[in-house]
């Protein structure tokens, strides 16, 4: 049973880690570090740790041909730099759950791309799954109250949905040719290089590492050193979930993986309620259940297609 649903288990586990990381990242961002600087330390830290492991254990897997490099560069810029940077901009201006909801319009862009650009057959059940999941997200976000949402945050989150779709589509292609670990090293490496050029490392606000950061919400009486929260963001909020999601993508399709990722806003809402006291009303709870139904149908559509 576990073997049969390995892809789904990996993808959902990755969503759990990403969801909790949104809470930790928000604590760091609201304490003064910019979204781009957090992206820089996140990518750079993940590149150093994962790259060192690969150099010591599987150095030969890091080899890449000249023809592969442009695709690996694009994967790093889209999936590791743009997705994270836009996400952090969004959650500094919106509730974590709402930022994630708008980001996860990605499955819609993927299915439209497959159907109308690649001219592939999309199972009718997948369309229904996306409709239900997105309807659930709308209920959670309560878009009829859109005037209360920060416009820059909304734009950043929607753009993040487009680049996230690119991440799944490019990743689906590349995971058929390379192992997940080396693919991630190149992704984080190119993202780190781009960020280092845009923002020199010598101007990094290193005081964040020794700064005492308030844990807010239910834990407002407590604080933690910045380096502890940033270490969590790198290890448990970046390396671990990316490994889980990309390994899941290798077993599933881009469209199915992205729809399953829609569980992330629901899970993030639970964490935000537990930690930051961001409460959901009855309509939002109905939306969460609708998203879950959509995810189940998406998995059935994938099974039927195979």
pLDDT value for 145: 66
Residue 305 has pLDDT above 70, yes or no: no
- 168-183 pLDDT per residue, tens: 889 888 988 888 899 9
pLDDT value for 302: 63
- 103-115 pLDDT per residue, tens: 877 888 888 888 8
Residue 58 has pLDDT above 80, yes or no: yes
Interatomic CA distance for residues 256 and 111, integer angstroms? 10
Judged by DSSP in three states, 212 sits in strand
pLDDT value for 148: 60
Of the ranges 25-29, 37-41, 227-231, 245-249, which is most confident?
Answer: 227-231
pLDDT value for 113: 86
User: Is 94 within 8 Å of 167 (Cβ atoms)?
Assistant: no
Of the ranges 5-14, 45-54, 106-115, 158-167, which is most confident?
Answer: 45-54
User: Is 111 within 8 Å of 224 (Cβ atoms)?
Assistant: no
89-100 average pLDDT score = 76
Number of alpha helices (DSSP H) and beta strands (DSSP E) in the chain: 14, 2
Entry pTM: 0.82
258-264 average pLDDT score = 79
Interatomic CA distance for residues 99 and 91, integer angstroms? 6
pLDDT value for 115: 81
pLDDT band at 50 (very low <50, low <70, confident <90, very high): very high
| Percentage of the chain exceeding pLDDT 90 | 33
Q: List C-alpha distances in Å: 132 to 115, 239, 250.
A: 19, 31, 25
pLDDT value for 173: 87
pLDDT value for 70: 92
pLDDT band at 306 (very low <50, low <70, confident <90, very high): very low
206-213 average pLDDT score = 93
Among 9-18, 70-79, 188-197, 289-298, the least confident range: 289-298
Interatomic CA distance for residues 11 and 253, integer angstroms? 11
Angle between helices 282-305 and 263-276 (to 10 degrees): 150
Average pLDDT, the chain: 86
- CA distance between the termini of the chain: 18
Residue 286 has pLDDT above 80, yes or no: yes
- 233-254 pLDDT per residue, tens: 999 999 999 999 999 888 887 7
Structure tokens at 279: 């409460």
User: Is 221 within 8 Å of 107 (Cβ atoms)?
Assistant: no
């Amino acid at each position: 049973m576990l073997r049969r649903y390995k892809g789904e288990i990996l993808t959902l586990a990755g969503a759990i880690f990403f969801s909790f990381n949104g809470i930790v990242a928000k604590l760091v961002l609201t304490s003064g570090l910019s979204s781009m600087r957090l992206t820089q330390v996140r990518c750079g830290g993940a590149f150093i740790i994962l790259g060192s492991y690969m150099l010591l254990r599987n150095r030969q897997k890091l080899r890449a041909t000249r023809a592969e490099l442009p695709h690996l560069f694009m994967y790093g810029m889209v999936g590791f730099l743009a997705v994270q940077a836009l996400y952090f901009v969004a959650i500094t201006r919106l509730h974590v759950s709402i930022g994630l909801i708008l980001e996860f319009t990605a499955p819609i862009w993927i299915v439209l791309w497959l159907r109308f650009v690649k001219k592939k057959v999309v199972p009718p059940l997948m369309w229904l799954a996306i409709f239900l999941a997105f309807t659930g997200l709308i209920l959670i976000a309560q878009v009829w109250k859109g005037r209360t949402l920060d416009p820059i945050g909304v734009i950043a989150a929607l753009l993040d949905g487009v680049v996230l779709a690119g991440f799944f589509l490019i990743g689906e292609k590349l995971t058929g040719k390379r192992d997940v670990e080396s693919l991630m090293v190149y992704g984080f490496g190119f993202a780190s290089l781009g960020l280092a050029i845009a923002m020199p490392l010598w101007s990094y606000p290193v005081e964040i590492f020794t700064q005492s950061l308030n844990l807010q919400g239910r834990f407002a009486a407590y604080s933690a050193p910045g380096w502890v929260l940033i270490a969590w963001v790198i290890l448990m909020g970046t390396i671990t979930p990316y490994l889980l999601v990309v390994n899941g993508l290798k077993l599933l399709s881009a469209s199915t993986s992205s729809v399953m990722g829609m569980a992330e806003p629901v899970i993030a809402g639970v964490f935000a309620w537990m930690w930051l006291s961001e409460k959901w009303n009855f309509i939002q709870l109905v939306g969460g259940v609708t998203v879950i139904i959509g995810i189940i149908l998406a998995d059935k559509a994938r099974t039927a297609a195979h």
